[in-house]
């Protein structure tokens, strides 16, 4: 949960004191409860970095601004608090773009503070000037250009309120250099946000709740679709109560996999393009879908015209723009998910879903669920076996996965026992996300065991942050599944481009264990299941972070695979002959 704003620090509670804009920034951050920021200094943000010397806030010096943004993102996802990233103007600011878009797509509360050239230079193409507010309009909830030190505190207070209210997301505050160096009267109380205090709809009307109850009561094959909004709203316990009371099975999106206990008898597992086949078929057989905090994205629905053809649909969602955007629904309940469930659960009837659950058990048996997922058996170690070993040895860890085949295998194999223990880039699919995000997650949860799961392609996109990991003295272990390919690209070329492989083979990669040692980590190499098990044991026993290169089958593919835009029932279960 967001830590509430803190009591005043260096400036007294009620006093109105004259401060530089740079000092006002730190006063605001401390009063918002911020105790760590991630960033990279540069010319136009130097006044703020100078004032940081007197601030009571930890600064994590990343090696690249993109990495700093992902660190703030991972910190937020793991803690539920608002992440903060700081960068300079020009390339420093544009290097935040991928991280901001990642946070925007996955509804992560984040405040980015960027330096800007001084006011008189704006619009002159001055050194390192870029219109970052123009650049980031589509990938932030809101942004500000601040040219007057008197506007810094109101802008920052409103930025934090916006980032964490309603559907969370990133907000950028761009502050000119002269606004940081000039002084203004700092008045915390007067700077309180008066707009955008709540971005949530009014309470759901009773008649809509009654309609939802009637639809549930008349259902014989209901199914809950659980998304990221469950954890964002803190509705995990309410979801369990809802499912158990009515006896409704639960399917999860990628970001919803840690929203519901994985060992619960009502949990069906992962749905969508690489979801379990019985979960996807359950969607097609259901007569009622109750979508909770998810947005029916294309990776879930496949061909929207053929998605869940027999089901009426109830959508509980805080963001009205998501309702009906991809899939028409029969009933929308707009509001904070936990607030809606808290009112809906006591009204929910007990359903006789025994026959439906027996049908689902039959589907699981049909696909031999204990042995699922399968991969093509080729040369080398199976990546699924590596992840099964990791699941056996390190259950309950915070898993931070990158993007690609390994991300899907991680989602299929690992069991995320608690909320906020699966951190991954879902909507944007950002390669290079995992390592820096894991640094943020470890700082948020210092007592947790944290693992990175990445491929040989993604780990090289932000591998410079290995130095940040060592610099901060963190213990994070890294599993690199090296298949010598951009595996998902290679798999799509195999299935959809007649196996014409173009630019998908990584013929040359660094010596990963040696690279790890160069950055001050332990390095290990595993080529067999026995070596993999031993490497994981040694990594967990070591006080030093370890990067393990697991050399795995280059031809292994993720199944099932629903071709893009195809019907769910067109799932592919094996390679083309």
Q: What gap in Å lies between CA 549 and CA 497, rounded to an integer?
A: 30
Distance of alpha carbon 57 from alpha carbon 50, whole angstroms? 13
Smallest CA-to-CA distance from 547 within 516, 520, 526, 519 is with: 516
State the catalytic residues: 65, 127-128, 177, 488
Residue 93 vs residues 131, 153, 408, 483: alpha-carbon distances, Å? 9, 21, 31, 34
DSSP-based three-state secondary structure for 136: helix
CB 96 within 8 A of CB 51: no
Give all strands (DSSP E) within 327-476, no chain letters: 331-334, 398-401, 422-424, 450-455
Provide the H-helix boundaries in 286-375.
298-301, 337-344, 354-366
3-state SS string for 485-532: ECHHHHHHHHHHCCCCCCCCECCCCCCHHHHHHHCCCEEEEECCHHHH
Torsion of CA 263, 244, 108, 73, to 10 degrees: -20
3 state DSSP class of 552: strand
CA atoms within 13 A on the CB side of 85: 37
Q: What are phi and psi of 19, to 5 degrees?
A: -135, 155
Token readout for 8 is 């005043």
Alpha-carbon distance 548 to 489, whole Å? 23
- CA dihedral sign, ordered 10, 16, 20, 26: positive
Looking at 147-228, list the stretches that DSSP marks H as alpha helix, in order from N- to C-terminal side: 152-164, 177-181, 206-217
**Residues with Cβ < 8 Å from 323, sequence gap 6 or more?**
315, 317, 329, 332, 334
Bridge partners of residue 289, in order along the sequence: 223, 313
């Amino acid at each position: 949960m967001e830590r509430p704003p803190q009591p005043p620090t260096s400036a007294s509670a009620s006093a109105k004191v004259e401060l530089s804009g740079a000092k006002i920034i730190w006063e605001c951050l401390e009063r918002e409860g911020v105790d760590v920021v991630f960033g990279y200094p540069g010319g136009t943000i130097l006044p703020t970095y100078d004032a940081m010397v007197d601030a009571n806030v930890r600064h994590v010096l990343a090696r690249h601004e993109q990495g700093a943004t992902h660190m703030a993102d991972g910190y937020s996802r793991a803690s539920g608090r608002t992440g903060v990233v700081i960068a300079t103007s020009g390339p420093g600011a544009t290097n935040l773009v991928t991280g901001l878009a990642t946070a925007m797509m996955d509804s992560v509360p984040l405040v980015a503070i960027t330096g800007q050239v001084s006011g008189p230079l704006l619009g002159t193409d001055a050194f390192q000037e870029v219109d970052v507010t123009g650049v980031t309009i589509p990938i932030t909830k809101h942004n500000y250009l601040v040219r007057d030190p008197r506007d810094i505190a109101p802008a920052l207070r409103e930025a934090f309120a916006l980032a964490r209210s309603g559907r969370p997301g990133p907000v950028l505050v761009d502050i000119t250099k002269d606004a940081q160096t000039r002084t203004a009267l700092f008045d915390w109380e007067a700077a309180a946000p008066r707009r955008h205090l709540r971005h949530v709809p009014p309470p759901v009307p009773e008649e809509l709740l009654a309609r939802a109850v009637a639809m549930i009561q008349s259902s014989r094959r209901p199914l809950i679709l659980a998304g990221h909004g469950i954890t964002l709203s803190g509705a995990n316990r309410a979801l369990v109560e809802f499912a158990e009371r009515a006896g409704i099975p639960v399917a999860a999106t990628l970001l919803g996999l840690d929203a519901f206990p994985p060992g619960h008898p009502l949990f069906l597992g992962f749905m969508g393009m690489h979801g379990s086949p019985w979960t996807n078929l359950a969607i097609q057989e259901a007569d009622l879908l109750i979508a909770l905090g998810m947005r029916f994205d294309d990776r879930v629905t496949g061909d929207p015209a053929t998605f869940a053809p027999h089901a009426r649909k109830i959508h509980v969602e805080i963001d009205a723009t998501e309702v009906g955007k991809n899939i028409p629904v029969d009933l929308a309940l707009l509001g904070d998910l936990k607030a809606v469930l808290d009112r809906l659960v006591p009204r929910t009837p007990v359903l006789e879903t025994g026959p439906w659950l027996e049908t689902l058990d039959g589907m699981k048996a049909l696909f031999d669920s204990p042995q699922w997922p399968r991969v093509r058996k080729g040369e080398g170690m199976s990546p699924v076996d590596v992840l099964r070993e990791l699941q056996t040895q390190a259950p309950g860890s915070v898993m931070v996965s990158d993007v690609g085949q390994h991300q899907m295998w991680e989602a299929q194999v690992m069991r995320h026992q608690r909320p906020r223990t699966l951190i991954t880039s879902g909507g944007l699919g950002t390669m290079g996300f995992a390592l820096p995000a894991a640094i943020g997650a470890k700082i948020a949860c210092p007592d947790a065991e944290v693992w990175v799961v990445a491929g040989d392609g993604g780990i090289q996109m932000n591998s410079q942050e290995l130095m940040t990991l060592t610099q901060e003295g963190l213990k994070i272990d890294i599993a690199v599944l090296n298949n010598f390919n951009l595996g998902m690209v290679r798999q799509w070329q195999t299935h959809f481009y007649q196996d014409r492989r173009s630019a998908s083979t990584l013929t040359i990669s660094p010596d990963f264990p040696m690279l790890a040692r160069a950055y001050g980590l332990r390095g290990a190499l595993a080529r067999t299941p026995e070596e993999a098990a031993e490497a994981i044991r040694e990594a967990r026993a070591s006080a030093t972070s370890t990067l393990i290169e697991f050399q795995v089958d280059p031809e292994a593919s993720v199944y099932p695979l629903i071709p893009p835009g195809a019907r769910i029932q067109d799932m592919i279960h094996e390679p083309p002959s």
